[in-house]
Amino acid sequence: MKEEIIIAGFGGQGVLSMGKILAYAGLMNDLEVTWMPSYGPEQRGGTANVTVILSDTPISSPVLDTYDTAVILNQQSLDKFESKVKPGGTLLYDPSGIHHKPTRTDIHVVEVPAMDAMLEMNNSKTYNMILLGALLAKRSVVPLEAVLRGLKKTLPERHHHLLPLNEQALRKGMSLV
């Protein structure tokens, strides 16, 4: 098993932390893991992306040219990464703010109305967990249980009261696709 994933969007959307939680879930599940951020001068509004590789064999390159799965959160990232999904791969994207929808027919394109779901939950902090839930539903690379353990590991203890909310968001995301 090897899953090469790109998560891309605006800085501030939780792209890097979504990747981090996925990486920790991989660690909890005894997988090999790399988490490679675009660490440019990202800030709220700029673009940000992270490559996460989960594998049951040693990982060579942390830098990739094609991906099994892309999670896309804005138009710039869709323009950049749609062509880089491997044939037969999966592209999940949030249609809010997307003017030109994906056109490829040789990959699984999955619409995830995460922004709407977030508004429904009335908490902007849940956005990336909704998307992660959708990813898990489509690509069961790690069990939800491992993600919850990963979440616990990455969240500082003073934020542990937010764990139930995050689990709710993950389950919401899973139900969307």
Nearest distance from C-beta of residue 176 to other proteins, angstroms: 28
Minimum separation from the CB atom of position 54 to other proteins (A): 11
Residues 6+ apart with CB under 8 A from 69: 3, 4, 5, 6, 85, 89, 90, 91, 92, 135, 138, 139
In the complex, what is the shortest distance from the CB of residue 39 to other proteins, in angstroms, rounded to a whole number?
Answer: 5
d(CA 5, CA 35): 10
CA 174 to chain centre: 13
Residue number with CB closer to other proteins (4 or 94): 4
Cα 18 to Cα 7: distance, rounded to the nearest angstrom: 8
Where does this chain bind other proteins (CB under 8 A)? Answer: 20, 23-24, 27, 32-37, 39-41, 59-66
Name the residue nearer to other proteins (CB basis): 32 or 116.
32
Question: Closer to other proteins at the Cβ: 29 or 166?
Answer: 29
Residue 76, classified by CB atoms within 10 Å of its CB into exposed (0-12), middle (13-18) or buried (19+), is: middle
Q: Please, what is the minimum distance in Å from the beta carbon of residue 31 to other proteins?
A: 9
Residue number, 10 or 35, with CB nearest to other proteins: 35
